Chains A and B, each alone.
Chain A
């Protein structure tokens, strides 16, 4: 008002942003504090901080939620998917960036179109194909699906990382008598590991959180990944908030720690095209 335009005050910005943080993080604070309440306290105090915190919910949720099994399943899915994804798309990206395959634009176009095809288009025939091949209700069957779904994103991102490397580096290695494989492992890989890490994090996070495909392709509770198992768990124990909150806490704690530790890489990777609604 009194010439305040010279340096706009940022106080209103902070106030509104803080309100948005409360809206975003508040529900998570409620979740975490509910995980530490006894069922009795929760009914009296469903939204506040725990007054008499207890750890009893965690072993109970671990047991009834069968986390020992489901975390094992999810870890297997994440590790297998990420490993296979990185090897297969790493090879393809290397070829695109360096080996000049004839018709490579056709392949790039194919992947671009492939990335826009919605799962609903091919879900029904895919489900029956998978069950005919005996791949439904298997963890590796699910992992193959995840590898395929993430292939376009991973290929494009890794290719983008690889084209940036100066060719001189590899030529020097070739002059020294390195073959294609050792050029890849000794020159390309050490220079492009940030790309591999980004793809690994984005794909790993996606697999850990994934619900829809797991719901459709697995019906055997012994094979449920954590997200699907949590869904079934909440439909059985939905009224027991302290139990479901403790289960949720165990499931998101590793994700949150990893995210906070590497948030730049996560955010960059997710905004580069690991985007899903």
Chain B
């Protein structure tokens, strides 16, 4: 026993004692079982209180008519019934999230794939392109949103300048359509917000794809060249399979985020005009802080988490089916 160096240093047990004393056992238990958890306990406690406790409470409150203050009365599944069958605002917000999902599963992915593919063979200045295209991702949403609010202004923005140029230089009002208030029209508000969010996001995706592409063996490209593949063939048959794990994982994350979006919507339109850009996040916010429907808002939050869970489930299923993602 004395040969065990851990024991020797753990407790002042005199060597050559062949009976394990109670004190030594306790010291050993403390050292091997308790101390490691003392290191973990503080962050676990903070995370548990901030994330897990209210997550569990959320299930309870979603079944009540709680206003945020005072007592909550149990109403069973009434909130969910109302949400699914009677609340057209909820439905149209959800529909906007689905539109958002479709846009974000296509536009940024297409842009990022093309740019990464173009950047992969570049040596000179590659670092600069990577850094510059990444910049909007590190800037605060409030600033990105305000830059584009100005650029989309019907009075002084980019479109307004185009319209003015058409009128003054070309003598046509055909271009006047560009001078529209993109964020102030029900037809264009949601897509304009998506445009701004994507402007800030796609470069991040591009860098992830670029990193994944650099992990593909050059031999595969050489082999494709020998087989007479052009750039497009290479892209489809070598690049895409090579980055598939990254591609699929990011599609899953982007799909999840599409149900949780809030920042850019709230900053640019607060869901307006006439709720045309309302998403579940902004709808939930209004339910809590404008209408004091904390119970109902909990139910909405639960439904949003469920959508995110469904996305994770779909990907887990595809994986089990043998998709290499």
Contact = CB atoms under 8 A, between A and B. Distances in A.
Interface of A: 5, 8, 10, 12-14, 16-17, 20-21, 23-25, 27-28, 30-31, 34, 42-43, 46-47, 88-89, 91-92, 94-96, 99-102, 104, 107, 110-111, 114, 116-129, 144-145, 147-149, 151-152, 155, 174, 180, 205, 208-209, 211-212, 215-216, 226-228, 230-231, 234, 238, 241, 244, 248, 251-252, 255-256, 259-260, 263, 266-267, 270-271, 275-277
Contacts of A215: 266
Given A92-B43, A118-B308, A271-B211, A30 B151 contact: yes
Among A8, A123, A251, chain B packs the most CB atoms within 10 A around the CB of A123
B47 interface: yes
Interface string B133-145: 1111111111100
B46 A88 contact: yes
A277 B156 CA distance: 30
Interface stretch (B168-176, B198-206, B237-245): B198-206
Interface residues of B, number: 93
Contacts of B260: 118-120, 277
Residue among B143, B147, B150, B225 having the largest count of chain A Cβ atoms under 10 Å: B143
A14 B122 CA distance: 8
Interface in B78-120: 111, 114-115, 118-119
B51 A211 contact: no
Which of B157, B261, B267 has most chain A Cβ within 10 Å? Answer: B267
11 contacts: A13-B122, A16-B118, A21-B129, A43-B156, A117-B55, A120-B260, A120-B305, A122-B50, A124-B54, A149-B50, A209-B138
A259 B301 contact: no
Interface stretch (B18-26, B34-42, B185-193): B34-42
Contacts of A252: 139-140, 143
B247 interface: no
A277 B257 contact: yes
A17 B128 CA distance: 11
B312 interface: yes
A17 B119 contact: yes
B208 to A, nearest CB: 5
A260 B42 CA distance: 34
A110 B48 CA distance: 10
A271 B43 contact: no
A25 B146 contact: no
B16 interface: no
Given A124-B58, A124-B298, A100 B36 contact: yes
Given A25-B135, A92-B44, A267-B134, A99 B39 contact: yes
A129 B305 contact: no
B284 A10 contact: no
B33 interface: yes
B137 to A, nearest CB: 7
A96 B118 CA distance: 42
A91 B40 contact: yes
A91 B143 contact: no
Contacts of A234: 142, 146, 149
B250 to A, nearest CB: 9
Interface string B217-235: 0000000010000110000
B213 interface: no
B275 interface: no
Contacts of A107: 40, 44
B297 interface: yes
Contacts of A27: 147-148, 151, 199
Contacts of B298: 124-125
A121 B146 contact: no
Contact of B161 (A31, A47, A88, A89): A47
B57 interface: yes
B194 interface: no
A228 B142 CA distance: 8
A32 to B, nearest CB: 10
B195 to A, nearest CB: 11
B52 A114 contact: yes
B40 A231 contact: no
A205 B138 CA distance: 7
B40 A101 contact: yes
Contacts of B139: 28, 209, 252, 255-256
Contact of A99 (B35, B133, B161): B35
Contacts of B76: none
B58 A121 contact: yes
A123 B261 CA distance: 14
Contact of B122 (A17, A129, A147): A17
Contacts of B32: 100, 102
Interface string B260-279: 11110011000000000000
Nearest to B33: A102
Contacts of B135: 24-25, 28, 256, 259
Contacts of A127: 68, 288
Nearest to B267: A231
B71 interface: no
B296 to A, nearest CB: 9
Contact of B199 (A24, A99, A174, A208): A24
A5 B230 contact: yes
